[in-house]
Structure 1
């Protein structure tokens, strides 16, 4: 009798575990669908470039968030990677607008031909397009930028008054310092000793200054890289070469202390791409107390994108293990470090509140 009861209880427990597990999996997978909320396609121009994106209405009167991508050929949803965050923000009552970078999705142009000033002009044009939507003139509109966007968004307030708040995630301070940090971490993860890393950083500094500081042609650069034994796949394309040459003098300090918008800076403490301690320190020193709603936070156990560092800490997307990809596909928004998305949504609602 008791044995039968135990078998029944075991069966019930298995069914329960299956149902709960299936619910969690379906929930996570659903995060990679474009939100079911009302949406509309929006097109705008920046110079000769035609840009196209999607506006998702999380509410009719609440704040609107513009997503500003980091480096790379990213379409409006970053090949789906951005959708868990977008879905969570929309469910929190926030409206979201994101567009294809030049040369991706249905946008014309080439993002590798842009300077950070060009990107800032593009963001300003996107703000104008959103402000032209019916009813948007009286709504709070802000910018949420990732990584490279730190060098972009610092310029926007001097170009337009269309933004009411700003959020930066994984933003670097100095382009060349970020290069050194990234390389140092990469070599350390490969098991290289400290003296070898220091020597390689010094060698790269000299080479980078020569090639990207203005000396030599791309053809000479390729010949030198091949002579040094670099694989063809590791040699930057001509467009990438000139993209670096145009932008490697970037330093966010130039405009940080001029920002007057409410600002949220979030940095993952386990960031492998950008030195999180430097960014937090610079923003706190230059602007931390300038606005009562400013918040500059270091998130423990979080990656460059604020994902859970225990499972998703890689420098580049193509380094993700198959297990990490599967886990992320099943987790959706739960892949973010605990409380991160709630922090973003709550800060936006607080920063845009009329209550002091």
Structure 2
């Protein structure tokens, strides 16, 4: 049998905007359990690499769509709050559930990085979500995560302690000024002295729009959404993640779910893996950046873990 997943464009509406993505399903008749991907920070969303094919081979349909203002989707992701993104995710879920070839009671979310926060929030608002998988989804607030990222990512890139302190000051200034009512364009202009600094592009806020976005979500804390979560949760982290405080996130997720007496959650840390759960093994191609090797291969067992965990919560086939 020649395995070739079936791909079709799927569009849906949220907040007056048409959002467009790829719906990928197995080449055999359904109905299928399904997964909706929840993209992380920045633009993008549709390009999930081989993941949709991997899920189709296991019997799952999936939807990956362009965020507002990315690819074929209308709108502007920089104007969204976390609550906006959660509502958008639920609109995507409704679009998938409405298909005759999807099992409407078996739709899960996979959220990467910032998408982990969004997936928690969406699932807490819809108790029909069958399961949630987060990949490097922080358990701490946005501001705490961003401060951690700047300290560790800039250091890994070879920037000095003085550079890191200045970057943290700019982040704090952006948040405080926008929160106080200042125009993000004025905040951006006031930081013009630093725009040509080599580390400046690594800030989350480098334009008026992105400054407004990061300031608007900086106080988001995932604890209430985690406490309200009822569906099974698989939270995956990379032990050498430079962008997310892994130990603090593991403690926060575990504490929130434990206090809520959440019945089915699994937290897995892959030693030596980065934010994308990749490890440099020395056997494949790699690039050197900032004096460090960037990982080249997905951590062994990661793909199998996600698929088998989902299969146990949303069985595939006629005996489900």
What's the TM-score, normalizing by structure 1?
Answer: 0.76
Aligned partner of 2:155 in structure 1 is: 188
Unmatched 5+ stretches in structure 1 = 1-34, 329-334
> Displacement of 1:44 after TM fit?
0.7
Contact 1:188–1:197 at 8 Å: present in 2 too? no
The answer for the alignment partner of 1:257 in structure 2 is 227
Larger radius of gyration: 1
Tell whether the 8 Å contact from 2:33 to 2:106 is kept in structure 1 after alignment. Answer: yes
Who is 1:116 aligned against? Answer: 82
More strand as a share of residues: 2
Q: Paired residue for 1:74?
A: 44
The match for 1:227 is: 193
How far did residue 277 of structure 1 move?
Answer: 1.0
Distance in structure 2 (CA, Å) of the matches to 1:37 and 1:96: 11
The answer to whether 1:352 aligns with 2:320 is no
Asked if 1:175 corresponds to 2:131, the answer is no
Instruction: Tell me the SS of whatever aligns to 2:40.
Output: coil
1:91 aligns with 2:62: no
Confirm or deny: 8 A CA contact 1:51 1:101 kept in the other structure.
Answer: yes
Determine the structure 2 residue equivalent to 1:64. 34
Alignment of 1:178-327 (within 5 A): 178-191=145-158, 196=162, 199-200=165-166, 203-204=169-170, 206-228=172-194, 230-231=196-197, 234=201, 236-288=206-258, 290-310=261-281
Distance 1:188 1:75, change over 3 A: closer
Corresponding residue for residue 39 of structure 1: 7
Q: 1:65, CA displacement in angstroms?
A: 0.9
Per the TM alignment, residue 198 of structure 1 is displaced from its structure 2 partner at its CA by 7.6
Question: Are residues 38 and 275 of structure 1, via their aligned partners in 2, closer, same or farther at CA, if it must alter by over 3 Å?
Answer: same
Decide whether aligned partners of structure 1 residues 221 and 230 sit closer, same or farther in structure 2, where only a CA change above 3 A counts: farther
Comparing 294-303 with 223-232, greater Cα deviation is found at 223-232
Structure 2 residue runs without a partner (length 5+): none
| Partner SS for 1:103 | coil
Distance in 2, Cα, partners of 1:229 & 1:42: 39
Per the alignment, in what secondary structure is the counterpart of residue 154 of structure 1? Answer: helix
Q: CA RMSD in A?
A: 3.2
Describe the SS at the equivalent of 1:140: strand
CA distance in structure 1 between the partners assigned to 2:190 and 2:64 by the alignment: 40
Q: Which has a greater percent of helix? A: 1
Moved more, 53-62 or 166-175: 53-62
User: 2:61, 2:102 within 8 Å by CA — same for their partners in 1?
Assistant: no
| Runs of 4+ residues over 3 Å off in structure 1 | 190-194, 196-206, 227-235, 288-293, 309-312
C-alpha change, 1:121 and 1:73, in structure 2 (3 Å) is: same
Secondary structure (helix, strand or coil) at the match of 1:168 reads strand
Q: TM-score, length-normalised on structure 2?
A: 0.83
1:202/1:305 CA distance change after superposition, 3 Å: closer
* Cα 1:255/1:307, change in 2 over 3 Å: same
| 8 Å contact kept, 1:271–1:304 | yes
**1:67 aligned counterpart, secondary structure:** strand
- Other-structure match for 1:342: 304
Q: Identify if the C-alpha distance between structure 1 residues 320 and 126 changes in structure 2 by more than 3 Å, giving closer, same or farther.
A: farther
Distance in 2 (CA, whole Å) between partners of 1:66 and 1:302 is 24
